[in-house]
Amino acid sequence: MGFFDKINEVRRKISEVENNIYHGKEDYLEIYERNIQLEQEIEERTKELNIANKRMLSLQSILDMMNSAKPLRNVLETVVNNIQGELGYLHSTIMRKEIDVDGEYFVVVAEADDITIKRADGILKTPIQARRLAYTKESIFYNSIENRHLIKSKDIGASLKAIMPDISEEELNNILSDKSVKSIITIPLHVLEKPFGIFAVFSSREDLAESETDFLNMYAQQIELAITIAELFEKVKEQAVTDGLTGLYNRRYFEEYLKKEVTRSLRINQPFSIIGLDLDFLKKINDTYGHSYGDIAIKTIAEVLKTNARSIDTAARMGGEEFNVILPGVTSEGAMIAAERIRKAIESVELDTIGHITASVGVATFLEHSDNIEDILELTDQAMYMSKRNGRNRVTLAKPMSETSWQELAVSAFLDILNKKKIPLSEEFKNDLSSKLLASTPQSEVLYSVADLLTQTYNDMHMQGGVKLKVLAAVSLAKRFDLSKEEIDNLKIAMLLYDIGNLLIPQEIFKKKGPLTPEDKKYIYEHPVIAVREILNPISYIQDVIPIIEAHHENWDGTGYPAKLSHENIPMASQIILIVDAFFALTEQRSYRDKLSPKEALEIIKQDAGVKWNKTLVDEFVALIENELK
């Protein structure tokens, strides 16, 4: 090969190398550009995933709300605040559609806490949340809810002007000077197929992507479900603390609220009063016109209380025809004026068929009559009953606790029983009970507790608090038969002491699972006599209570014990003890049987109407318990 041939060969090889390098460069450039494009796509997808994740978190927050029992307002506030910021929304709000005598309107029920709304409220004389917003056909809010579809508008000014027609041009221009809000989006909310209102978001973007529309519609659906559940919770909660017949608070709520009021009163050393009312002649109304008219009379009392009570007062139906009203910060003098106003208002109402109704009213004041709330409730009750005994349709102010003696008598009786060593209890236990009784001025709660502890010595299945429930039921029943205050006081003492003879009965009898022998039955039948002869007779100041306890196992048809008394020969208080004791015994666990439900126990009691108990007594007792079970 010649010289030039060699040079040409080298050139050819160089050219091949250059071509290879060039094509390799193109390949490298192509790979490089593809990598850049891929990185951009990854970045865009990451952003989309972040947005989707934020949207999912927002939806999850609503789901979390559904699993809570938070009030509706709290749920809605959480909803509007969770869609803010990073999703590009500057503000969000929920407006509820309302209607009154002046027509339909919107009201803001929740709004996000952000700079946008704070700025707008600062410009307006009246904040948006405090306004009655117009429900006009010109607004996108109206069209959105009426047509049930999402609407986006860039005309922020027209949207605001439509719901706030009274806004001045200066105020509107000042609000619109904030150019960050580019559009407003309205999404209708319907709950159980009924219009609820509007979910509105103020966006920093003019455009609305299809994915965003889908998200907002989905978000609105979750809001609707959250509202449904929250309203259901509120309804259930309301039913739990309100009386179904009258709409007033029930006994449960009253007792819880009363505890708070006592704490507040003691903290600031300010008295409060309780007004107790009892509808007169309810039994006569029921017997004459029927129970539906009795319900009308009860509801009338409730309406009078709603009308005459202050916004800070708490009125409650305590059961049957009894009502209580708490008057915070009111002395006995002011409470008497309020009670008389209520009494007159009740008397002035004339009902179809029934005519006029009346109520007996009692008043007691915490820190004036006593600093123990159980005493105040007792005094209110006694004053109310005194009004009934003195002719009804009147108001009576309670006497100070120092003038009320049934608790003192009961405490002294317990101390006598414990100190005379006639019951087989350890000295340590008796000393402990005596210390409880002497620790403070006589009060019902201590008495109930001591009676519970004594009962548990021979019945280990007895629940603490059972004696109080029995006493309250017995007293409520006694009032239905117009027993006097003295008779009711004796009944309360008898309810604490009637089974005291059981302390002298051998324990093996109480715990026996098989049938009782004749000897066992003899012990049981004699326990009222034992209680009286061995334990209570020596206590001179409770002699009026002894006949009640002696006869508390006598049956209406004369088959009871120990004296085989029948019908009216049995003291009413004894009959009451027998039926109350039987009911609570049936609903307590026993070694030989399971406890019954209240309804099952009532069925058994009904079966013995006219045999063990006066039929009228059974009817009133069943009505009393069924009312408490509502």
Q: Give the pLDDT band (50/70/90) at residue 514.
A: low
What stretches of 130-203 adopt beta strand conformation (E)? 133-134, 151-153, 183-191, 194-203
Q: What is the pLDDT of residues 165-174, one digit of tens each?
A: 999 999 999 9
The single residue of 77, 321, 322, 378 carrying the catalytic annotation is 321
Residue 321 known to be catalytic: yes
Range with the poorest average pLDDT among 3-7, 471-475, 580-584: 3-7
Instruction: With beta carbons less than 8 A apart as the criterion, state whether 190 and 148 touch.
Output: yes
pTM for the predicted model, two decimal places: 0.49
Q: Which of 252, 256, 231 is nearest to 243 (CA)?
A: 252
> Distances from the Cα of 208 to the Cαs of 153, 201, 243, 620, in angstroms?
10, 12, 50, 69
Instruction: With beta carbons less than 8 A apart as the criterion, state whether 278 and 321 touch.
Output: yes
Write down the mean pLDDT value for the chain: 82
Q: pLDDT at residue 427 above 80?
A: yes
Q: Give the pLDDT band (50/70/90) at residue 59.
A: very low
Asked if the 251-403 domain carries CATH number 3.30.70.270, the reply is: yes
5 vs 123 pLDDT, higher one: 123
In the numeric block, the tokens 């049957």 are attached to: 320
pLDDT at 336: 96
pLDDT at 53: 47
pLDDT at 241: 82
Range with the poorest average pLDDT among 107-116, 117-126, 214-223: 214-223
Superfamily of the domain at 72-240: GAF domain (3.30.450.40)
Count CB atoms within 10 A of the CB of residue 458. Answer: 18
> Distances from the Cα of 515 to the Cαs of 57, 510, 512, 586, in angstroms?
66, 11, 8, 18
DSSP code per residue over 183-222: EEEEEEEEETTEEEEEEEEEES-S---HHHHHHHHHHHHH
Instruction: With beta carbons less than 8 A apart as the criterion, state whether 274 and 364 touch.
Output: yes
Q: Provide the terminal-to-terminal Cα distance of the chain, rounded to the nearest Å.
A: 120
Q: pLDDT at residue 229 above 90?
A: no
Q: pLDDT at residue 38 above 60?
A: no
Q: pLDDT at residue 37 above 70?
A: no
Q: pLDDT at residue 569 above 90?
A: yes
Instruction: With beta carbons less than 8 A apart as the criterion, state whether 528 and 554 touch.
Output: no
pLDDT at 12: 64
Return the CATH class of domain 406-629.
Answer: mainly alpha
Q: pLDDT at residue 110 above 70?
A: yes
Q: What is the pLDDT of residues 351-396, one digit of tens each?
A: 999 999 999 999 999 999 988 888 888 789 878 878 887 889 999 9
Give the start-to-end residue ranges of the domains of the chain.
72-240, 251-403, 406-629
Cβ contacts of residue 449 below 8 Å, gap of 6+? 436, 464
